[in-house]
Structure 1
Amino acid sequence: MLPLCSYGQRPGYELEPSRSKADTTRQRDLIDIGKDILNIKPPKGPDSSGKSIYFSFLPFSTNVPGGGHALITSTTAGFFTGNRETTYMSRASFTPYTNFRGRFGLPIRSYIWLKNNEWVIMGDTRLLKYPQFTWGLGRQHEEDDKLLVDYTYMRFYQHALRKVCDGMFAGIGYNLDYRVNIDTKEAGLSLGEYTDYAYGTDHFGRSLSSGLSFNLLYDTRSNSINPMDGYYAYFQYRVNPTFLGSDHTWQSIYVDIRKYIRFTDDPNRQNMLGIWTNYWSVLNRRVPYLDLPSIGWDVYNRSGRGFDQNRYRGRHLMYLEAEYRRDITANGLFGFVVFTNANSVAGPDSQLFKDWNHAVGAGLRLKFNKGSGTNIAIDFGKSRGFSGFQIGLDEVF
């Protein structure tokens, strides 16, 4: 007749059901449409919806700095390295670029969750040969007074972070930025003369920064390709000593914080607000010009929709963005976003936190792969003196 009571506790690594078990059978994507057109029937027998890897692919053409067009193909893979009940979805992307006349890019990025989210492995490897415009430091030059800079760039970033507690990770990494053949001959003006900056702009046409980074991460997003809710916070302290090959000894800090606020309890519907801010600062004077904080050169090159990449550069940069996301159709095939962002950079004729540069825009979303949540994202952004379209796979943040 005596009662016996027991209490169960959910393991700390288990994902919330609302984020890990969306019923994708109620959703529709381009793969479903392709199956209908080609009359491809799903296999009979056991349910095959629990596959562990999802591919998305998108080829498109766009204008490039210096004139002409280039072909860009973007491939994104979402996959699980362990049980999806206890392991977040990892992602890897490959976005090769070429104009078939000597300009090319081979970037490979990855964000991998190991089994039970015990480790996070972040990678960013690039080999690029393409020109970009620059406008000096801060508001040093007006929109039309830009300089075309061509160079070959190799980046190799690899970071490994170990779980400290639920959602929190700490680790170290290696960072290499190597640029050669830095050239502005077509403009008849050297980079040093244009920017009035002495480091990484000399006639040797090269710069090398090689160093270690110490990283802290807090991430509760079960899917970084298309976050539905949760938090993301990342801190990096980077040290580039000369004994590792750097041209000069210098340090930097980078802080990135994101919050996703859902307005519906239905995990199959998109109705949310994303908020993103990051702060990037160098702590020494002798930093190569092309390694200085710049709009569009954050960790994943996603900041600054509505601005030209590199439009604002300086020793310190603050960035803010907010985006509202919502489905248009009940099956999630079509959706839209509206966004606004602002940045403040230290430099000639501008002061950090005092002078702000603003952009606004909107975009359409077309579901490519409902299993990974991958969207084709088409955005239009506008700022003072610039407007343009941006197309790609997965969300900006």
Structure 2
Amino acid sequence: MKNLIIICLCLLPAALFAQDASNMIPKQSAVKDTARQTDLIDIAKQLFKISPQKPRIQREKKIYFSILPVPGTVPGGAGRALITSTTAGTYLGPQSTTNLSSATFAPYWNLHSRFGLPLRSSIWLKDNTWNIQGDIRFLVYPQYTWGLGGSHAYNDKTLVNYNYIRFYQSALKRITPYFFAGGGYNLDYHTNIKSDDPTVDLKQFTGYSYGTNGNSVSSGVSLNLLYDTRNNSINPLPGAYANVVYRINPTFLGSDDNWSSLYVDVRKYISLNPANKNQQNTLAFWSYLWTVLGSNAPYLDLPSIGWDPYNRSGEGIDQNRYRGKSLFYFESEYRRDITTNGLLGFVVFADVNTVSGSGFLFKSWHPAAGTGLRVKFNKGSNTNIGIDYAGSKGYSAIIFNIGESF
């Protein structure tokens, strides 16, 4: 059954490739007029009586910044922290033929010993000839763990302390207008792994032998396939996305053991009002399957909810609540503007996941749901500030984001 699901999900991108791509991305002129929309920058100009100039227009190679400094809670028990999320977007070629390149830097500090420096980027070269993806992180990171699968109740958890360095870099070349192929290098380096409670033996608590004490290193290469008809990853327009990453971690590149993994990510965006491009009215769907191949992957590198590449899955579920050798995830979201000028909007969403570990994949399902407010921060890059409330059994949270969850 598991193999059948993997094959089906791998075939989904092929089905997406067969669609008429010209109908999936709204055609844009090189200069997009946003005069009929309003964002927080316009509001600030009015409040501080800054003299209005000509209507703001997206111009070639202009950089659009969005900054959100907010207090929040760092996942994994670090308590309250100051989180500053900065997103920058720019076009490195004509907007009619080049996707929006984006970079997100979201450092946090809890005013004590917990901090993180994550930097993620997706760079599209002129005419989308290449896509360069990066994910660099340095984290002093506490994280609750519940072992594999659903073997522990929500309150039966232990706090794991560790330091984490991640370096992912990949380059994908355009094969057809929306299909890219390439490869990359991936490093996950965890040090000083130990339970916050000295009486807890992580190997015994998790029921897993690899990477539960001391250090763990996973160093490997990846083979990447990408199909993307979106032209703005910060706030995707109607279109489709499929990403397949096969990663190999051999000992001769520095890994503790030989192991590999497969990650298949498929998304679809459907406009319910395609005639009005200035109004958001969209259904969005996201599904991924993440599995390790072999039995000796380090514990902290196993598939886990909330540890997808952008840490956006499982809203309403505590990060790392479910971890196992395989994880399947599905989310649906409805996005709609409240005001005609695009300043305010809302979303409603629901997600579900199943994970192997203490049992088989698809044996048990873990749902969550929520809703949220959207405020247009920068209409040039179509960037929203998101304030979501989501919950599941035994857990709820308020989440602040720049850009959409997916």
Shorter-chain TM range is over 0.9
- Residue 198 (structure 1) aligned to one of 209, 229, 249: 209
- Residue 269 (structure 2) aligned to one of 250, 260, 277: 260
Cα offset, 1:187, TM superposition: 5.1
Q: Report the equivalent of 1:108.
A: 119
Q: What is the SS of the residue equivalent to 1:55?
A: strand
Q: Is this contact kept in 1: 2:210–2:298, CA < 8 A?
A: yes
What is the Cα-based RMSD across aligned positions, in Å? 1.8
Q: Report the equivalent of 1:7.
A: none
Aligned ranges for residues 97-246 of structure 1 at < 5 Å? 97-186=108-197, 188-202=199-213, 205-246=214-255
Cα offset, 1:23, TM superposition: 3.8
Q: What is the SS of the residue equivalent to 1:26?
A: coil
Taking a change above 3 Å as real, the CA distance of residues 159 and 147 of structure 1, as seen in their structure-2 partners, is same
CA distance in 2, matches of 1:67, 1:157: 25
Taking a change above 3 Å as real, the CA distance of residues 384 and 19 of structure 1, as seen in their structure-2 partners, is farther
- Residue 38 (structure 2) aligned to one of 16, 28, 38: 28
Aligned ranges for residues 74-93 of structure 1 at < 5 Å? 74-93=85-104
Q: Is this contact kept in 2: 1:295–1:310, CA < 8 A?
A: yes
Q: What is the SS of the residue equivalent to 2:51?
A: coil
Q: Report the equivalent of 2:51.
A: 41
Q: Report the equivalent of 1:340.
A: 350
Q: Is this contact kept in 2: 1:251–1:284, CA < 8 A?
A: yes
CA distance in 2, matches of 1:198, 1:40: 62
* Letter of the structure 1 residue corresponding to residue 292 of structure 2: V
Q: Is this contact kept in 2: 1:148–1:187, CA < 8 A?
A: no
- Residue 387 (structure 2) aligned to one of 366, 375, 378: 378
Q: What is the SS of the residue equivalent to 2:290?
A: strand
Q: Is this contact kept in 2: 1:22–1:267, CA < 8 A?
A: no
Q: How many aligned positions are there? A: 382
Unpaired segments ≥5 residues, structure 2: 1-20
CA distance in 1, matches of 2:206, 2:215: 16
* Letter of the structure 1 residue corresponding to residue 79 of structure 2: G
More displaced stretch, 16-25 vs 136-145: 16-25
Q: Is this contact kept in 2: 1:214–1:236, CA < 8 A?
A: yes
* Letter of the structure 1 residue corresponding to residue 373 of structure 2: L
* Letter of the structure 2 residue corresponding to residue 99 of structure 1: N
CA distance in 2, matches of 1:21, 1:347: 51
Q: Report the equivalent of 1:3.
A: none
Q: 1:331-360 CA deviation, whole Å, 9 max, x = no partner? A: 010000000000010111x32123111011
Taking a change above 3 Å as real, the CA distance of residues 187 and 392 of structure 1, as seen in their structure-2 partners, is farther
Q: Report the equivalent of 1:299.
A: 309
More displaced stretch, 182-191 vs 360-369: 182-191
Taking a change above 3 Å as real, the CA distance of residues 91 and 113 of structure 1, as seen in their structure-2 partners, is same
Cα offset, 1:41, TM superposition: 2.4
CA distance in 2, matches of 1:67, 1:78: 30
Q: Report the equivalent of 1:322.
A: 332
CA distance in 1, matches of 2:50, 2:129: 39
* Letter of the structure 1 residue corresponding to residue 288 of structure 2: N
Q: 1:174-227 CA deviation, whole Å, 9 max, x = no partner? A: 00000001121435202112111100013xx11000000000000000111001
Q: Is this contact kept in 2: 1:20–1:222, CA < 8 A?
A: no
Is 1:354 the counterpart of 2:381? The answer is no
Taking a change above 3 Å as real, the CA distance of residues 373 and 147 of structure 1, as seen in their structure-2 partners, is same
Taking a change above 3 Å as real, the CA distance of residues 351 and 21 of structure 1, as seen in their structure-2 partners, is farther
Q: What is the SS of the residue equivalent to 1:277?
A: strand
CA distance in 1, matches of 2:107, 2:138: 10
Taking a change above 3 Å as real, the CA distance of residues 15 and 84 of structure 1, as seen in their structure-2 partners, is farther
Q: 1:46-68 CA deviation, whole Å, 9 max, x = no partner? A: 97642521000000111333353
Percent of residue pairs bearing the same amino acid type: 56
Unpaired segments ≥5 residues, structure 1: 1-10
Cα offset, 1:40, TM superposition: 1.6
CA distance in 2, matches of 1:43, 1:23: 14
CA distance in 1, matches of 2:176, 2:130: 11
Q: 1:273-306 CA deviation, whole Å, 9 max, x = no partner? A: 0000000000000010000000000111110000
**TM-score, normalising length: structure 1:** 0.93
CA distance in 2, matches of 1:318, 1:372: 31
- Residue 331 (structure 1) aligned to one of 319, 337, 341: 341
Taking a change above 3 Å as real, the CA distance of residues 279 and 19 of structure 1, as seen in their structure-2 partners, is farther
CA distance in 2, matches of 1:219, 1:48: 25
Q: What is the SS of the residue equivalent to 1:290?
A: helix
Is 1:366 the counterpart of 2:383? The answer is no
Is 1:285 the counterpart of 2:300? The answer is no
